[in-house]
Amino acid sequence: MDKHTALHTCFGLSSFRSGQEALIDAVLQGRDVLGIMPTGGGKSLCYQVPAVMLDGVALIISPLISLMKDQVMALKNIGVSAAFINSSLSPEQLRMAYGHMRAGQYKIVYIAPERLAGDGFVSLAQSLNISLVAVDEAHCISQWGQDFRPSYLKIVDFLEKLPRRPALAAFTATATQQVRDDIARILKLREPLRLITGFDRPNLNFEVHRPKRKINALHALTDQRRDKSGIVYCATRKLVESVCDELSAAGLSATRYHAGLPDEERRQNQEDFLYDRRPVMVATNAFGMGIDKSNVSYVIHYNMPKSLEAYYQEAGRAGRDGERADCILLYSSGDIAAAKFLIQHSSDNDELSGEERRIVTEQDYLRLDSMVGYCKTASCLRGYILDYFGQAHGERCGNCSHCCGEYAERDITSEAQMILSCVKRAKDRLGYPVGATLIVRVLCGGKDKRVLELGLDQLTTYGLMSTVPRPQIRDYIEHLESAGYLRTDPVHGGVELTPMSGEVLFRGGQVLMSVKQSPVAEKAHTAKTEAPVGDGDPGLFTALKALRFKLAQEEGVPAYIVFSNANLADMARKEPKTMAEFKTVSGVGEIKAARYGEAFLQAIAAFERDGARG
Ligand code: ADP
Ligand code: MG
Ligand code: ZN
């Protein structure tokens, strides 16, 4: 079987995505690879295709127990024999799995890293014909990575105990070079093919808003998108509850998801969302893993996440169908403090030693800085993201709020000079730097107690900007900070000049800032393209979903294991009449054609016969 045949007949897909083919070719030749692709880019296929083609069994090391189960279920459903080994198995189940492995019955086995060392797995593995070892979420091996798991280090010991080292394939969506290098170094990859695929999602429109009241902005945004499906991410369970109540009270069909809800309710709410019974999901970041709903047309973040990796992953759940979709972040400076609190009090990783925890926390702060930079940048938002992931791009993307004319460049040189000299004079007088709030008060000519106590009303810059609203001065200060003309001491919070400040103060340097023309939330939202959804006849699509639901229930699997929404949309578009036509539908391979073809063809025929299209 060649790789194209595997892709068509087994996975039912028509073509490879960018990067997949090169990675698969390398693995097939026995070469190590390091594949760097965005979330949703299709990393699984890069090891699954070689795994079904090569002799022996492929071991896939993965940190997420829930995803393992899903992947194995999906593989079984397309006729690939697969299993998983993790702590959720009983001793009896484990014994059976080992037995099947010994008998060579699996093509793919998912395994949790901490299992590699235990329970006789090593001696079992030594007797197996291992076709390849894939390390999914490989950044977990680096303490500089966003989700360091010391148990990943066990992979190296494990590999060294094998009589023959198989090809090693590592995958991640990580941005930083340091982590990428760590992966190659710690895993001892042998001259790997390093491949970074495109991170850009051109159909996504990025916006950052800074509303006075977030809830009002959210109402405005969801009002403009009443007929659409979307996700609203909130930082806490409590916020999920209150935001969901607010939206529901405003007549929106919303549901909620967070880790504090009972399993049954979570399952039900997720399904209501997947089936568009409730098209709006309000959730914490616990929601979305492994969810492949194609028609999500917006993702709104009610709070800033703690890294750009997390943001891009969550926002990227919009527009999977390739239609234009919006990724909107509602930012307030309070989000920074909240994120810092979460970093300081994160307790989700008890594998870590004190020193490791210190490094992880430090990295978390750096990632947070980049995230804050995104919220504050005046330049192209997509460009900012692509920079972070190390991908070249044009100066302006034309599809983000900073490129789309909502902003205009303004010369703020004289405002900058006033602020910088106020910062300088305050420090000269007191001998230490003061915080931004106090600087704003001085510039406004405020009569606050602190200002008077410290004698800051004596400064020549006192009251210099008394005609400018305080929040506006704040914005200028934040802009000067992100442009490098000011810095805030992370410990004391004092604002200080930088070597660059002199450019503006003494050498006539010009400062430009993007200023919003009018608040977006109040303006009618005009989408650039309002193309039809392209899901075929909506009535047929609904009928196909109903059939999928019935089949899934009969088999006791989640609906997307039968077919994804994207698959059904393609089916509704193509309206296949014969088995041959059915096989051209995305997601339909030989096994699924045999298993489900008849039922879907009948449903399509019945739909057309009964003239269900009005
Ligand atoms: P990642 O692990 O990189 O986040 P996945 O491997 O989970 O991404 O794939 C994301 C989605 O993309 C899945 O629904 C998968 O079926 C789909 N996909 C992957 N490769 C292709 C392809 N070549 N053609 C169509 N769909 C694909
Ligand atoms: Mg993956
Ligand atoms: Zn842009």
Model confidence over 145-160: pLDDT tens digits? 878 899 999 999 999 9
Q: Is the pLDDT of residue 346 over 80?
A: no
Q: 367: exposed, middle or buried (C-beta count within 10 Å: 0-12, 13-18, 19+)? A: buried
Checking if the pLDDT of 569 tops 90, the result is no
- Model confidence pLDDT, tens digit, residues 101-126: 999 999 999 999 999 987 689 999 99
pTM over 0.85: no
Query: pLDDT tens digit string along 74-91?
Result: 999 999 999 999 989 999
Tens-digit pLDDT profile for residues 350-374:
677 888 888 888 889 999 999 999 9
User: Which residues form ligand 1's pocket by a CB distance below 6 Å?
Assistant: 13, 16-17, 20, 37, 39-45, 292, 564
**How many whole angstroms from 172 Cα to the centroid of ligand 2?**
8
Tell which atom from ligand 1 comes closest to the C-alpha of 11: 16
Which residue has a Cα nearest atom 10 of ligand 1? 40
Q: How sure is the predictor about 330, in pLDDT bands with cuts at 50, 70 and 90?
A: very high
pLDDT tens per residue, range 400-457: 998 886 666 678 888 999 999 999 999 999 999 999 999 999 999 988 899 999 999 9
How many A from CA of 70 to the centre of ligand 1? 14
Give the pLDDT score at 520.
41
Ligand nearest to the CA of 208: 3
Q: For residue 378, how far is its CA from the centre of ligand 3 (angstroms)?
A: 10
Q: What is the pLDDT of residue 356?
A: 84
Rounded Cα distance between 44 and 441, Å, is 55
Residue to substitute in 7, 11, 13 for testing ligand 1 pocket (most ligand atoms within 8 angstroms of CB): 13
Q: Kindly report the number of other CB atoms within 10 A of residue 588's CB atom.
A: 27
Contact 360, 148 (CB under 8 A): yes
Mean local confidence (pLDDT), 528-556: 75
**Position 534 pLDDT exceeds 80:** no
φ, ψ dihedrals at 107, nearest 5°:
-90, -30
For the chain, first and last CA: distance in Å?
Answer: 46
Pick left, alpha or beta for residue 479 (phi over 0 → left; psi -120 to 50 → alpha; otherwise beta).
Answer: alpha
Output 191 or 65, whichever has higher pLDDT: 191
Distance (Å) from CA 600 to ligand 3 centroid: 42
Interval between CA 582 and ligand 2 midpoint (Å):
28
**pLDDT of 394:** 86
Percent of residues, the chain, with pLDDT higher than 90: 62
Return the residue whose CA atom lies nearest to atom 17 of ligand 1: 42
Confidence at 531, pLDDT banded by 50, 70, 90: very low
Counting ligands in written order, which one lies closest to the CA of residue 40?
Answer: 1
The reported pLDDT for the residue numbered 516 is 63
Determine the atom of ligand 1 nearest the C-alpha atom of 136: 2
The mean per-residue pLDDT over the stretch 317-323 comes to: 86
Name the band, by pLDDT with cuts 50, 70 and 90, for residue 193: very high
Q: Would you state the pLDDT for residue 135?
A: 97
pLDDT in tens, 488-504: 887 788 999 998 898 88
pLDDT of residue 517: 58
pLDDT band per the 50, 70, 90 thresholds, residue 348: low
**Counting atoms of ligand 1 from 1, which one is nearest the CA of 41?**
3
pLDDT over 80 at 347, yes or no: no
* Average of per-residue pLDDT across 532-544: 74
Strand pairing report for 280-283 and 325-330: unpaired
Residue predicted with more confidence, 480 or 405: 480
51-73 residue pLDDT tens: 999 999 999 999 888 788 888 99
Is pLDDT at 35 greater than 90 in this prediction?
Answer: yes
Residue 247 near residue 280 (C-beta atoms within 8 A):
yes
Mean pLDDT of 181-209: 94
- Residue 45 has a CB neighbour count (10 Å cut-off) of 18
Tell me, what's the pLDDT at 32?
Answer: 97
DSSP sequence for 240-279: HHHHHHHHHHTT--EEEE-TTS-HHHHHHHHHHHHTTSS-
Looking at residue 530, its pLDDT comes to 31
- How open is the CA angle 528-200-139, to the nearest 5 degrees? 145
Average pLDDT, the chain: 89
Dist. CA 495 → ligand 2 center (Å): 42
Q: How far apart are CA 76 and CA 69, in angstroms?
A: 11
Distance 170 CA to ligand 3 centre (A): 31
pLDDT at 521 over 50: no
- pLDDT of amino acid 519: 41
Would you state the pLDDT for residue 611? 65
User: In this structure, which residue's CA is closest to atom 18 in ligand 1?
Assistant: 42
pLDDT class of 522 with cuts at 50, 70, 90: very low
In sequence order, the β-bridge partners of residue 327 are: 206, 299
DSSP string, 97-113: HHHHHHTT--SEEEE-G
- From the CA of 292, give the closest atom in ligand 1: 14
Question: Of all protein residues, whose CA lies closest to atom 16 belonging to ligand 1?
Answer: 42
User: How far apart are the CA of 314 and the centre of ligand 3, in A?
Assistant: 19
